[in-house]
Amino acid sequence: MKFFIDTANLAQIKEAQELGVLDGVTTNPSLMAKEGITGEKNILQHYIDICNIVDGDVSAEVIATDFDGMVREGEALAALHEQIVVKIPMIKEGVKALKYFSNKGIRTNCTLVFSPGQAILAAKAGATYVSPFIGRLDDISQNGVDFIAQIRQIYDNYMFETQILAASIRHTMHIIECAEVGADVVTCPLNAIMGLLKHPLTDSGLAQFLADYKKGG
């Protein structure tokens, strides 16, 4: 399972990269705005800065909602850096754009996916990644992890190559549950990744080992 970090915060991206388990980054316009990154020039530079920190895929989202605009923006994003994956919303024009980029060998991440039908369309259009938003489904009393399992079954039935990128992950248990049902990728806030480290028996066990070592000395 690949680990992506879901942020545009360079310090957090560096921290996750230094941990040695990071496979990529996802961003979106809201995450960019949260870091105060505005204006096309600054946003494009920020993507390059992120690519220079990590080794893996970096999703960069188009703003246009029409086919021509998505193609124009997506091609510019893809030309920025070889690690860029063009993020396209799951709308009618977006499906056309996914197919266009797939034909051109440009990698894509289909975002804002909330139903199995949308996941099928993304795969049929040749998306590299599909991003089901599990936290937002949980928010409206639909089980987000069950949705990941449903997509896993559908994709396995037909050997679709689109990778399931579980997004809108809110906490550590989401990561573990996504691993149990076979998500290919999880994109997470840093604190959810760091939560995987924690266990009180590790802490108390280590404290005991160190205390016993000192006694011996």
Specify the stretch interacting with ligand G3P by CB under 6 A; choose among 50-58, 86-94, 115-123, 162-170: 162-170
For strand 129-132 and strand 108-113, is the pairing parallel, antiparallel, or unpaired? parallel
By C-beta, is 71 or 113 nearer to ligand G3P? Answer: 113
Nearer to ligand G3P, 75 or 181 (CB): 181
Report the half-sphere exposure of 72 (CA within 13 A, side-chain side). 7
| Residue 114 near ligand G3P by CB under 6 A | no
Draw the binding track, 58-97, toward ligand G3P (x: CB under 6 A; -: no contact). Answer: ----------------------------------------
CB of 7 to ligand G3P, least distance (A): 8
Among 81, 99, 136, 152, which residue interacts with ligand G3P (rule: CB under 6 A)? 136
Which of 23/75 has CB closer to ligand G3P?
23
The reply on whether position 6 binds ligand G3P by CB under 6 A is: yes
Q: Is residue 161 a contact partner of residue 139, using CB atoms and an 8 Å limit?
A: no
- The residue number whose beta carbon is nearest to ligand G3P equals 167
Nearer to ligand G3P, 71 or 77 (CB): 77
Which structure tokens are listed for 95?
């499906």
Interaction between residue 57 and ligand G3P (CB under 6 A): no
Cβ closest to ligand G3P, residue 89 vs residue 126: 89
Which positions are catalytic?
87
187 lies in the site for ligand G3P, by CB under 6 A: yes
Beta carbons of 115 and 137 less than 8 angstroms apart: no
Is residue 135 near ligand G3P by the rule CB under 6 A?
A: yes
Which residues of this protein are in contact with ligand G3P, per CB under 6 A?
A: 6, 26, 28, 31, 133, 135-136, 167-168, 170, 187
